[in-house]
Structure formats: structure tokens, C-alpha cells
Amino acid sequence: MRRPTLPIAAPIMLSMALIACPSSAQTRQPSIPPPSIVAYRPHSTLVVPEHPVPRAKFPAVDFHGHPPDLSTPENIERVVAAMDELNLQVMVQARPSSGDRLTRQIDAVRAAGYADRFVFFASLDLRNVGPGSGARIAKQLEEDVAAGAVGIGEIMKGFGLSIQKADGTRLHLDDPELDVVWETAGRLGVPVFVHTADPAEFFEPMDYENERWLEMALFESRRYFDRSRFPSFEELMAERDRMIAKHPNTTWVVAHMSWYANDLGKLGQLFDRYPNVLGELGAVLYDLGRQPRFARQFFIEYQDRILFGKDSFAPDEYPYYWRVFETADEYFDYYRDYHAFWKLYGLDLPDEVLKKVYYANAARIVPHMPTTGFPGS
Ligand SMILES: [Zn+2]
């Protein structure tokens, strides 16, 4: 967990260090009023080689796409133009879509001649689950897959965190009523893309040791520390793991690397325990870019289990991902200034790993993934 108990000797060593080093920031107070946490933005003086990467080295699949609704030619053209610039070959439409809303987009993309640039996932209506809901949701899933959907998702974080059952209780991720849905996904061979919880710090007390204090201060909706309203991070992950354990024939993709990107050893254990689980990279770049050596080792070891995904569709943010994955650049800026107070480093991933993370793993688990435009096709 976030605050491991220090060995008994540690506080003593710490206080000795403070005595031995009286000029350290902990003891010496500034003689002029210090700036606020928001105002202090020192510019780095470090000059090192820079290699910005506007286009991915290999064509990529964005497994966690949230482009706008794709039912109009204007939206489709706009998204495709941005994808071309970035070398994004295929975008997964992971925005909640089912029934008519799904088929309208599938038809529009086909009519526009871009059937090889988008694939569609189906959403599930998980509200007010009660007896019989599982069969109803599974039936809708069958219809959506027959209409062209090739996955489920993104199942949003409300599943587990806040969605209620018909009886007013919280819908647990491992609720047996939903077993038929996950079994149906396994039978149809479509992956389940699920976002569970949020960074663990959001569930912790909002004190000055909390790494996400500023973000929580900026966004009230990211505070989940009230146990009378929200389950704990660990409880949600345990429910999620039990759900996965019950369905070994279903392919699961945990969004945001299960929010374990700051503890890759833990993610490795999840992958080791469940061979049918993959992790998606959206919105956790700041954690990978602060541990380039260990993250590189992790990517090499688990190269068949990682999928590129971006989450929000902001074309000018993708190049940060390419740069972290592809270069050995040092100490460069991230695109958010409240997520993290540190700079990023490149992982310098080998080509074979990049190809798997960018497209080969997605092509392996998503049925009918288009092959046009990928090397070797
Ligand atoms: Zn998402």
C-alpha cells in the first residue's frame, strides 16, 4: 500500500539525517514567503538531446478510443484526418454505444469507406440489475455483436463504484446475475474492456502526503475517501479479480493498467494469475515515464499482454506516448500539470515490443480486426 510501515530503525535514521544536515528543506524555513503549490513552476535548465515523435513508428490501434459520435461524415473525416497524422491505423470506438446508436455509427463508417479504420465495442446497460437482468443484457450483447460489435466496453468506472441494483444496493462487479453476460462474451469470442476504480490515491485521505492532493483539490469528483459513500480501492479490485476468476474463457482487458502502473510488480502478479487478462495503457503515461528502466523491463517481459490506448481523443497528446515508448529522451514534460510533479523519460522499447503493443496484441484478441495498413498485410 501507499504508506508502508517504516522499519523501526528508519525514524531514528531519519532524525539523525535531519540533525546532520541542518540546511535541508524540512528544517530551514524560507526567509521570504514561499509561493503556493500552484504558483511554483520552475523552468528546467537541463539541456539534453530531444526527439519529439509526431507519428508512431508503426501503425497503431487505439484500443481505448473516445472519438466523438461517428454517425456523421463530418465527424468521421475529422477523426480520420487526425489518425492519419499520428499513424493511428485503427480506432476502437469505446464510447458507450448499443442498439441503434451502435448500428448508426457502423453504417456511417462503412458508407464513408472507412470500415478498415474503426472497430466498435458494445456497451452494457448495467443500471437497476435484478433477477433476469443478466439474460436481458446478454441478449442485447448478442444482437450488438451480430450487428458488428467486436468487443464490450468501455465499461466505465461507475460499475462497482456507484451503479445501483434494482434493490438500491451497490452493484458489485462479481454479482452472479452478470455471470451469463461474461460467459456470453467468452462464447462469442469478444473481449471485455473494463475500467475499475481510479488511482488508489483518490481513495486515500486527502492529506499532504497524498501524491494526488492537487488533482483532488482541483476536481471534487475525484475524491472517493468517504467510506460511507464509496468502497475502498482494494475492495473494488478484489471484486474485479473474483469476476475474472469465475470466467477463465473470457478475454479481459483492464483499462488504465488496472491503475497499477505505479506498482508494476502487482500488475505482473495479476497477469501471472490470469492468463486471459491484458492491460490497456490509457492515461497512465506519467507513471511509466518516471520509471523508464523498470517499465522497459516490464514491457519486455509482458509484451504479449499490453495494449496501446489513449482514452480521451486529443490528437496533440498522442505524441507524448510515442516519445515515451520509442525514444530514450530524458526529463521531458508531460501534458498535464496536475497529475504529477515530475518529468518523463523514454522507455526506448525494442521494435518487436512496440509492434505488439501498438497493434499485434489487439489484432490477436479482437475478432475481425482490419489488417489493411499493418506491416505484413
Ligand atoms: Zn475511457
Distance 339 CA to ligand 1 centre (A): 17
Domains of the chain: 59-365 (3.20.20.140)
**Rounded CA separation 328/292 (Å):** 9
First to last CA, the chain: 45
How many other β-carbons are positioned within 10 Å of the β-carbon of residue 195?
Answer: 26
Owner of C-alpha cell 469478444: 190
271-327: pLDDT as tens digits: 999 999 999 999 999 999 999 999 999 999 999 999 999 999 999 999 999 999 999
124-167: pLDDT as tens digits: 999 999 999 999 999 999 999 999 999 999 999 999 999 999 99
**Which residues neighbour ligand 1 (ion) by CB within 5 Å?**
154, 311
Distance 156 CA to ligand 1 centre (A): 7
**Rounded CA separation 355/307 (Å):** 10
- Report the DSSP pairing between strands 152-155 and 252-254: unpaired
**Rounded CA separation 157/255 (Å):** 10
**Rounded CA separation 240/92 (Å):** 23
163-183: pLDDT as tens digits: 999 999 999 999 999 999 999
| Residue of 250, 121, 276 lying closest to 184 (CA atoms) | 250
Distance 154 CA to ligand 1 centre (A): 6
**Rounded CA separation 182/192 (Å):** 8
Rounded to whole angstroms, what are the CA distances from 262 to 128, 144, 199, 296?
A: 34, 36, 9, 13
pTM, 2 dp: 0.92
